[in-house]
A and B are shown apart, each in its own frame.
Chain A
């Protein structure tokens, strides 16, 4: 296979897709987390402020999912089909939850009735939580591997997905996003809501650290294939070490109320956790728990070389543009939320 900067194209695509998924986790992570915390705010004004804190950006954040999906479709078509058809029911529920979340944000403040707003508040929180848990559940099953036969056909049932490890990953994802979202909200709010959030951030970070420790232990003990690469290249142990240091720094910044720095560290935490997952997988994308010979590697799944090369050019042109819009929008809406007549 052709190479670019001494990495083959399939590996480049593995990195591109990993980068997109990380971008999605960091960006949509905070608005999903903010959604999961929504009902902790009691007053109407607090709820509107929290909603408008993510108002101008959530849709752009979700686009990273669309792009990551498209990139997976283009780069590894086989895996796209296998993952989506294997997780058929979870993905259908995921899509429905995405619809409910979008319309909850859009519709909530369009009508003044109390029951109307309450209904959409509940729907917003429930869908945000559900989406996060489903993402974590799918991720947990992919880390662990699933029963696939030699034709890459899934041989399990719906219940196969609900195993203790995958559930632990789902809860950890929720705790991470809730903390990430709470930190984001502290940066966007003032006065009493801010005071309330400082307490919430603290609790969320404790919850996350607990989950982080449990996930690390469970992975070390029960998922041997995730640690193989680390044993082969001990230099990679720098990463889990970095993860621990990042989490410690995160907590320190939260305690001293430096929320912007804390937000940077919680973003880095999300990234490092996904990088650890990627290293554990590489060069496979799908792990067969039935027989390691039936794993799907990036080379088996990759699209043609022509396609990968063209897509890499498209990504090289597109990514700076996307980053530029993202920065522009975040810059435009920097600072604390002020409600006005155009707000949600």
Chain B
């Protein structure tokens, strides 16, 4: 039987990775919903109302699973990581409580209005509820990323007590909230979420366009998704750079692992593709010589601190894993910029919806932001090891003392079974909803036009 530490880490990684499929989708969809419903209020077009209703139904499905799997995360800190809970309660606890009171209450309260309120409240109040739900999901990400960022770059605290009784105590709340990495990491996570949501909208729209179903609706959806995606993809380049910058400053060992840079102090290369041989402590692949030096210091000649500068016990061991996940994320990010710019250009030329090959790419592209979000998170968390709170508390010291390997094995098996079932149900229901499509109340005029090669603007 593996140790309690390994089992608890696997369970946490599994439950958080599964959970992390859903909130980014909710956040991104929330923004798309606000735009769709805003356009409905502005134009009064039935198409916008129908696509808003359609996406609200999908939003509810995603949101429901996000909440259910999120509660697991909250309580897992106490069940599996009791020492950690005691150590960071002052900080992590307050962020979590703030998340509950400011974010969850907002989104869950107004979700009821969003779903069931169409006939009970005015259009304006319904739109307000949509904005509140979208804002709630963003606030939720804000607080949880603040808490996680404090684990990466702790500030505004002091340590009280010793040994197993030690704990971090807040000395300055705002320093704790605005720790050096929270803004960069929050913006990076949020924009990644906008990409996840907008690509889901575009994927479904592209599928309808390819199948010549709900074409007017699909084109309207696609435009909304593309607007969000093109802005987000470009912004992500900026926030990504900012995030790498904080890592270079505060977590040099993580940065070194991201580029497989071992020498204690040398000019560092940047890889486009590569492989880390951890035994020989060597990295090979296609590289830009001095690239990492340039990115961190603005000069190709300045040395960068490598992994060997950090004692072996204090640096990440899964170097190749961090290297690969980081490079997959960057690669996908670059591809998404190219893809969205191309689509925006074709939309401007009014040729977008005729490009069947591009629509096929968009159907599948829904997976790309998901993968990028996941591997980006792995980079951040695995790169932080062996620390759970960077430089302060080791992951191996953070466990619950009374929990046994048998108990964790039991819960791990239980969660695996339940989550596999949940994921299959999710795909099944999502598929059914997409098949069903928006409820079209008006007769689609000029149906023949929809089949023509000519691109017509369906709305006005």
CA–CA, A321 and B53, complex, Å:
27
- Binding-face segment, A61-69, A175-183, A203-211: A61-69
Question: Is the beta-carbon distance between A310 and B415 smaller than 8 angstroms?
Answer: no
CA–CA, A266 and B117, complex, Å:
28
CA–CA, A155 and B60, complex, Å:
43
Q: Given A85-B402, A86-B402, A303-B93, check contact A66 B71 (CB 8 Å).
A: yes
| Contact sample, A vs B, 13 pairs, CB 8 Å cutoff | A56-B116, A59-B67, A59-B112, A70-B96, A81-B81, A89-B407, A89-B411, A92-B414, A107-B429, A306-B173, A325-B110, A332-B113, A333-B116
Q: Given A56-B113, A74-B93, check contact A81 B414 (CB 8 Å).
A: no
Question: Is the beta-carbon distance between A70 and B79 smaller than 8 angstroms?
Answer: no
Q: Given A102-B64, A306-B170, check contact A321 B94 (CB 8 Å).
A: no
Instruction: Check A77 for interface membership: any CB of B closer than 8 A.
Output: yes
Minimum distance in angstroms from B64 CB to a CB of chain A: 4
6 extra interface residue pairs, beta carbon distance < 8 Å, beyond A67-B97, A69-B75, A96-B415: A57-B112, A63-B105, A310-B94, A321-B102, A321-B106, A342-B115
CA–CA, A77 and B85, complex, Å:
6
- Binding-face segment, A36-44, A280-288, A311-319: A311-319
Minimum distance in angstroms from A120 CB to a CB of chain B: 10
- Binding-face segment, B36-44, B118-126, B209-217, B264-272: B118-126
Give 1 or 0 for each of A77-110: 1 = CB within 8 Å of chain B CB: 1101111111011011101101110110011001
Partner of B94, one of A65, A153, A314, A333: A314
Residues 50-64 (chain A) with a chain B CB within 8 angstroms: 52, 55-57, 59-60, 62-63
CA–CA, A78 and B78, complex, Å:
9
Residue of B64, B116, B414 with highest tally of chain A CB at under 10 A? B116
Question: Is the beta-carbon distance between B90 and A325 smaller than 8 angstroms?
Answer: no
Q: Given A65-B71, A99-B68, check contact A311 B61 (CB 8 Å).
A: no
Question: Is the beta-carbon distance between A328 and B109 smaller than 8 angstroms?
Answer: yes
Question: Is the beta-carbon distance between A107 and B425 smaller than 8 angstroms?
Answer: yes
Residues of chain B lying within 8 A (CB to CB) of residue A63: 100, 104-105, 108-109
Instruction: Check A304 for interface membership: any CB of B closer than 8 A.
Output: yes
Minimum distance in angstroms from B2 CB to a CB of chain A: 17
Q: Given A56-B112, A322-B101, check contact A84 B79 (CB 8 Å).
A: yes
Residues of chain A lying within 8 A (CB to CB) of residue B77: 73, 80, 84
Question: Is the beta-carbon distance between A84 and B68 smaller than 8 angstroms?
Answer: no
Partner of A326, one of B69, B92, B109: B109
CA–CA, A56 and B126, complex, Å:
14
Residues of chain A lying within 8 A (CB to CB) of residue B91: 307
Question: Is the beta-carbon distance between A81 and B82 smaller than 8 angstroms?
Answer: yes
Instruction: Check B74 for interface membership: any CB of A closer than 8 A.
Output: yes
Instruction: Check B400 for interface membership: any CB of A closer than 8 A.
Output: yes
* In the complex, residue of chain A having the shortest beta-carbon distance to the beta carbon of B171: A306
Q: Shortest 6 CB-CB distances between A and B: which pairs?
A: A77-B89, A84-B78, A81-B82, A56-B112, A74-B93, A325-B109
Residues 134-156 (chain A) with a chain B CB within 8 angstroms: 151, 153-154
Instruction: Check B394 for interface membership: any CB of A closer than 8 A.
Output: no
CA–CA, A311 and B99, complex, Å:
12
Residues 421-460 (chain B) with a chain A CB within 8 angstroms: 422, 425, 429, 432-433, 439
Question: Is the beta-carbon distance between A111 and B432 smaller than 8 angstroms?
Answer: yes
Q: Given A92-B411, A153-B402, check contact A314 B98 (CB 8 Å).
A: yes
Instruction: Check A167 for interface membership: any CB of B closer than 8 A.
Output: no
Instruction: Check A71 for interface membership: any CB of B closer than 8 A.
Output: yes
Instruction: Check B372 for interface membership: any CB of A closer than 8 A.
Output: no
Question: Is the beta-carbon distance between A81 and B83 smaller than 8 angstroms?
Answer: yes
Residues of chain B lying within 8 A (CB to CB) of residue A293: none
CA–CA, A92 and B411, complex, Å:
6
Residues of chain A lying within 8 A (CB to CB) of residue B105: 60, 63, 67, 318, 321-322, 325-326
Question: Is the beta-carbon distance between B170 and A310 smaller than 8 angstroms?
Answer: yes
Question: Is the beta-carbon distance between A332 and B117 smaller than 8 angstroms?
Answer: yes
Question: Is the beta-carbon distance between A304 and B96 smaller than 8 angstroms?
Answer: no
Partner of A73, one of B80, B96, B109, B411: B96
Instruction: Check A329 for interface membership: any CB of B closer than 8 A.
Output: yes
* In the complex, residue of chain B having the shortest beta-carbon distance to the beta carbon of A55: B116
* In the complex, residue of chain B having the shortest beta-carbon distance to the beta carbon of A154: B402
CA–CA, A60 and B112, complex, Å:
8
Instruction: Check A35 for interface membership: any CB of B closer than 8 A.
Output: no
Minimum distance in angstroms from B144 CB to a CB of chain A: 11
Residues of chain A lying within 8 A (CB to CB) of residue B65: 102-103
Partner of B170, one of A111, A151, A307: A307
Minimum distance in angstroms from B252 CB to a CB of chain A: 30
CA–CA, A198 and B360, complex, Å:
57
Question: Is the beta-carbon distance between A77 and B97 smaller than 8 angstroms?
Answer: no
Residues of chain A lying within 8 A (CB to CB) of residue B357: none
CA–CA, A155 and B414, complex, Å:
24
Instruction: Check A75 for interface membership: any CB of B closer than 8 A.
Output: yes
Partner of B108, one of A60, A80, A341: A60
Q: Given A73-B89, A99-B68, A153-B401, check contact A88 B79 (CB 8 Å).
A: yes
Residues 6-41 (chain B) with a chain A CB within 8 angstroms: none
Partner of A319, one of B101, B116, B407: B101
Minimum distance in angstroms from A141 CB to a CB of chain B: 15
Residues of chain B lying within 8 A (CB to CB) of residue A92: 79, 410-411, 414-415
Residues of chain B lying within 8 A (CB to CB) of residue A111: 429, 432
Residues of chain B lying within 8 A (CB to CB) of residue A77: 85-90, 93, 167
Question: Is the beta-carbon distance between A303 and B89 smaller than 8 angstroms?
Answer: yes
Q: Given A86-B402, A103-B64, check contact A307 B407 (CB 8 Å).
A: no
Instruction: Check A215 for interface membership: any CB of B closer than 8 A.
Output: no
Instruction: Check A253 for interface membership: any CB of B closer than 8 A.
Output: no
